[in-house]
Amino acid sequence: MGNEIRELREALLDLTGVLNRPQPDAALIEAAGVDLDRALFPLLARVERMGPLGIVELAELAGRDYTTVSRQIAKLESLGLVARCPSPTDGRVRAAVITDQGQVMTDALDAARQKIIEELLAGWEAKEVSELARLLRKFADGALGWVKTP
């Protein structure tokens, strides 16, 4: 299994390398036809998927500094894409939540992402796509559990 794990690791490094470049986010924003600073996109997507989120938690999830995330959430708030409210788990914390306008934008981004992924998987059999989704979910769930383990 040594060769397979090396191949998996190399594929994951290739994918994370692509996903961590600025070009995919910029291309997705352009394909969605939205006007959004590329640096704000990952935060908006996380708030939509996982919100409400406090700034500290969001900074940790995004791998960014708390002060940077705080400024970026303030920018998203000024654009009407997120709002701040008391956290449902800790009333002392103000959490970012998606607004209706932010939801419209993330819906457009999701539609563009769907189209891009469909293009990448063109020519794949439905069974292959299903198996890829199942195995990636299994791997991601394992990785998430491993990271949370002290």
Q: Residue 7 belongs to a domain with what CATH number?
A: 1.10.10.10
Residue 149 pLDDT level (bands cut at 50, 70, 90): low
Contacts of 81 (CB under 8 A, 6+ apart): 36, 40, 44, 98, 99, 101, 102, 105
Higher pLDDT, 63 or 45: 45
Give the total number of structural domains in the chain: 1
Are the CB atoms for 78 and 89 separated by under 8 Å?
A: no
pLDDT tens digits, residue range 16-54?
Answer: 887 777 788 888 889 999 999 988 988 999 999 998 999
Burial 4-37 (b: 16+ CB within 10 A, else e): eeeeeeeeeeeeeeeeeeeeebeebbeebebebe
Instruction: Tell which residue, 53, 50, 23, 37, has the closest CA to residue 105.
Output: 37
Structural domain including 141 reads: 2-148
Query: Nearest to residue 33, comparing CAs of 125, 120, 105?
Result: 105
Dist. CA 44–CA 103, nearest whole Å:
9
What pLDDT digit, counting tens, does each position of 79-126 carry? 999 999 987 777 777 899 999 999 999 999 999 989 988 999 999 999
pLDDT band (50, 70, 90) for residue 133:
very high
